[in-house]
Amino acid sequence: MSDNRKRRYVVALDQGTTSSRAIIYDQNACALAVEQLTFPQYYPEPGHVEHDALEIWETQLQALRQALQKASVQPDEVAAIGITNQRETTVIWERATGRPIAPAIVWQCRRTAGRCDELRRAGYDKIIRSKTGLVVDAYFSGTKAEWLLDRSPELRARAAKGELLFGTIDTWLLWKLSGGRLHITDVTNASRTLLFNIHTLDWDDELLQLFGIPRNMLPTVCGSSEVYGMTDRDLLGVEIPLAGIAGDQQAALFGQGCFAEGMAKNTYGTGCFLLMNTGEMPRESKRGLLTTIAWKIGEEVQYALEGSVFIAGAGVQWLRDELQIVQDAAESERLARSVPDSNGVYVVPAFTGLGAPYWDAYARGGIFGLTRDTSRAHIARAMLEAIAYQTRDVLDAMRADSGLAISRLLVDGGATQNSFLMQYQADLLGTEVVRAADHESTARGAAFLAGLAIGMWSSLDDLRRLAGEQMSFSPQMAAGEREDRYAGWQKAVERVKGWIDA
């Protein structure tokens, strides 16, 4: 049997905020095995969130090896590896040793909120917006990298010499997988750094100077579906093509088959991320959304509008780990269904500030409407409802910015298995919510991009046919009740804005 005949599987490495996963797909895009390993979250100060990049690498490699074993797939049967990742999380490491100079700063971290205030006061927000499509917020990588380099005067000099390397998590994993041969990223991840011009498709010299980031430390920017290089033979005993990269939300948009202008998806993960394909031209938002690159395949670039909600599934984790009012995520659905409504309770989970469309780094979480007969079931239900309310905030802005009607919202991610949440989402939006048969659209998107690059699938039409069956939730709530409930949410949001002092 020839090597090409033997290589008939694609692996997606899905490196998320709380876990590293590997999924093995066959030629019909069916998942044969999934392996998931969690890693620690570090909170050195309030509002600060860190990861150990070496722990990320170790769990990702272990997940890959275990998934291959579980699927009884040999490494020489893998045609390609695709990577999707938590996006704005920032790592800086030494070129010579591969050792990170500090903990990775996670996308949720708010430590650079003050610096973002300075940039806005100095009038840089409009320049940054026009070049990058992003708002000035601590969410993105630019101020994180600047903060890391500011820890010592010698660090920026070392970076200018090329001794230090910058990367988001995709870049870090590719560096490790290739044995230090590849220092690259793709356009989707580059477009989330505050350093990349989404119109010229290059790092922007004016922005690099603004943040004091030497170009020498930046990765080469590639497309989202091409063969970048090979894995180091020492890792798995063979070399495997590394052939697809996309930030997690763009990968989910691709995995959902949202290839046409106006198609939208929402991913319910740690956060909640709604993207709409806007075609070959970037659309500027006037309502707090982001203009971002959806993917680049060959010479064709697709753009998207995005709204990011910081806390979604993480809110249910908070119910479980901190409040200890549920034992697992499934119990949150049972509790929510045990009461007819939230009894007037609203939870605003602004634990690390508010994302789109508010962009308030100084907001903090709150629970409103508590009375003596409020139960844990009411609070659990209110947390799930908060995920739906935040999604409506974003979808309303997206409809207004794009001028496009969104009649169906495609959804994926772990929380979509909560049918109470999905029905409430449809009720609150007044829009059909369509759940993919395979809720792992993020990993599937990475697999699609990698498989497309090596010819396992030949076209987007092939990928559309692999999308799978779906389940729909239609609105059942009366329009008046929908608007009354949403008005209560908006009132609660106003209470948490600017909670801590700048």
Binding residues for ADP are 17, 21, 270, 313, 414, 418
Specify binding-site residues for ATP.
17-19, 270, 313, 317, 414
303 forms beta bridges with: 279, 293
Instruction: List b or e across 465-479, with b for residues whose CB sees 16 or more CB atoms inside 10 angstroms.
Output: ebbeeeeebebebee
Q: How far apart are CA 455 and CA 44, in angstroms?
A: 46
Q: How far apart are CA 218 and CA 203, in angstroms?
A: 8
Q: Which residues contact 190 (CB under 8 A, 6 or more apart)?
A: 196, 203, 219, 221, 293
Question: Which residue is listed with tokens 């101020």?
Answer: 143
Q: How far apart are CA 338 and CA 468, in angstroms?
A: 32
Question: Which residue is listed with tokens 């959806």?
Answer: 294
Q: Is 331 exposed, middle or buried (0-12, 13-18, 19+ CB in 10 A)?
A: middle
What secondary structure letter does DSSP report for 103?
Answer: P
Closest CA to 423 of 412, 409, 433, 408: 433
Instruction: Judge contact between 343 and 371, C-beta under 8 A.
Output: yes
Sign of the Cα pseudo-torsion (172, 177, 179, 182, in order): negative
Closest CA to 381 of 259, 485, 452: 485
**Residue 472: strand, helix, or coil:** strand
Specify binding-site residues.
17-19, 21, 87-88, 139, 248-249, 270, 313, 317, 414, 418
Specify binding-site residues for sn-glycerol 3-phosphate.
17, 87-88, 139, 248
Q: How far apart are CA 318 and CA 152, in angstroms?
A: 35
DSSP H or E run through 405 = none
Closest CA to 328 of 262, 281, 380, 390: 380
Phi, psi of 165, deg, nearest 5: -120, 140
Specify binding-site residues for glycerol.
87-88, 139, 248-249
Phi, psi of 367, deg, nearest 5: -120, 125
